[in-house]
Amino acid sequence: GIQVEQSPPDLILQEGANSTLRCNFSDSVNNLQWFHQNPWGQLINLFYIPSGTKQNGRLSATTVATERYSLLYISSSQTTDSGVYFCAVGSSGGGFKTIFGAGTRLFVKA
């Protein structure tokens, strides 16, 4: 099945800094999403982005499907950005099976 790798596994930022999180996947996908899990455990969908670029406030994401990677950009980070960021992918051959990467654990210091 599809393999999903996220990097870096852990990241510590000073408030106000920018960062880029990466997601590599091993096969073609028709579905790619980024999620944020806050310190209380809640999973929030950030982007549905199987290809192209999207922006939402300080967050933006880019997926280059032909090269099998996606990037999540966080600008001017805030302490509330802390948590775990997951990339999740699904393929047309996998039915409705969405596979999650291991996540990037982000801590933003005040």
Partner 1 sequence: DTAVSQTPKYLVTQMGNDKSIKCEQNLGHDTMYWYKQDSKKFLKIMFSYNNKELIINETVPNRFSPKSPDKAHLNLHINSLELGDSAVYFCASTTRSGNTIYFGEGSWLTVV
**Cis-peptide into 9, omega within 30 deg:** no
Interface pick for partner 1 out of 7, 28, 31, 60 (rule CB under 8 A): 31
Among the listed residues 48, 52, 76, 79, the single contact to partner 1 using CB under 8 A: 48
The answer to whether residue 51 forms part of the interface with partner 1 (CB under 8 A) is: no
Q: Give the whole-angstrom CA distance, residue 79 versus residue 110.
A: 6
Site string for partner 1, 71-90 (x = CB under 8 A): -------------x-x-x-x
Burial class (CB in 10 A: 0-12, 13-18, 19+), 61: buried
Tell which one of 6, 33, 63, 77 touches partner 1 (CB under 8 A). 33
User: Using CA atoms, how far apart are residues 55 and 9, in angstroms rounded to an integer?
Assistant: 23
Q: How far is the CB of 73 from partner 1 (least distance, A)?
A: 20
CA angle 68, 19, 16 (to 5 degrees): 160
Q: How far is CA 75 from the centre of its chain?
A: 14
60 contacts partner 1 (rule: CB under 8 A): no
Enumerate binding residues for partner 1 (CB under 8 A): 30-31, 33, 35, 37, 41-43, 45, 48, 84, 86, 88, 90, 95-100, 102-103, 105
